[in-house]
């Protein structure tokens, strides 16, 4: 099975190296480029997080907090965000699907909607990348949720 995977990676790498696309893993085979980047460990890059912990301050129960986590590709190969998985259902995350080229920055965005918890909160997002300085990165936001006077009258 390892030989088949290695052969697959070599074939795909050869196929895409002839292309001048900004996305070196773009293909017509129906394979997600980030999946190929994840398997191509020889071409992993490095990421530097400009924001790993964001303080959203105090929000009301009727608010939705929008959070941005900035990162930079400090390597010499294309950077792919493969997944961004929040730790709970009250948080959603979105990430760039296109490669982040060397020296360029990108943003993982997140939104938090109140789920019944009051007081201090800390929510994390696990981000998977094609990077040599760890494949999984934890980013988080903290804050405090207070009752909204409108919601407390219901």
Q: Write down the pLDDT at residue 113.
A: 94
Does the pLDDT value for residue 20 go beyond 50? no
136-146 and 53-60 beta bridge pairing: parallel
Give yes or no for a contact between 114 and 63, defined as CB atoms under 8 angstroms apart: yes
Residue range 72-98, pLDDT digits in tens? 999 999 999 999 999 999 999 999 999
State the Cα torsion 10-15-17-23 to the nearest 10°: -100
Instruction: State pTM to two decimals.
Output: 0.78
Portion of the chain with pLDDT greater than 70, in percent: 83
- pLDDT per residue over 118-131, tens digit each? 999 999 999 999 99
Judged against a pLDDT cut of 60, whether residue 9 lies above it is answered with no
pLDDT over 50 (residue 19)? no
Highest mean pLDDT among 28-42, 65-79, 139-153: 65-79
Q: For residue range 34-60, what is the model confidence (pLDDT) as tens digits?
A: 878 878 878 899 999 999 999 999 999
Cα–Cα distance for residue pair 49/82, rounded to 1 Å: 16
């Amino acid at each position: 099975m390892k030989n088949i995977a290695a052969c697959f990676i070599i074939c795909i790498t050869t196929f895409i190296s002839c292309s001048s696309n900004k996305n070196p893993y773009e293909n017509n085979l129906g394979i997600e480029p980030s999946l190929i980047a994840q398997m191509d460990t020889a071409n992993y890059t490095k990421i530097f997080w400009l924001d790993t912990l964001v303080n959203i301050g105090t929000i009301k129960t009727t608010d939705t907090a929008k959070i941005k986590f900035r990162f930079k590709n400090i390597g010499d190969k294309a950077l792919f965000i493969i997944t961004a998985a929040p730790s709970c259902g009250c948080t959603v995350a979105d990430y760039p699907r296109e490669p982040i080229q060397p020296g360029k920055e990108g943003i993982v965005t997140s939104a938090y909607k109140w789920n019944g918890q009051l007081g201090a909160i800390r929510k994390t997002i696990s981000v998977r990348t094609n990077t040599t300085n760890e494949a999984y990165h934890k980013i988080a936001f903290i804050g405090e949720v207070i009752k909204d006077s409108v919601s407390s009258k219901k």
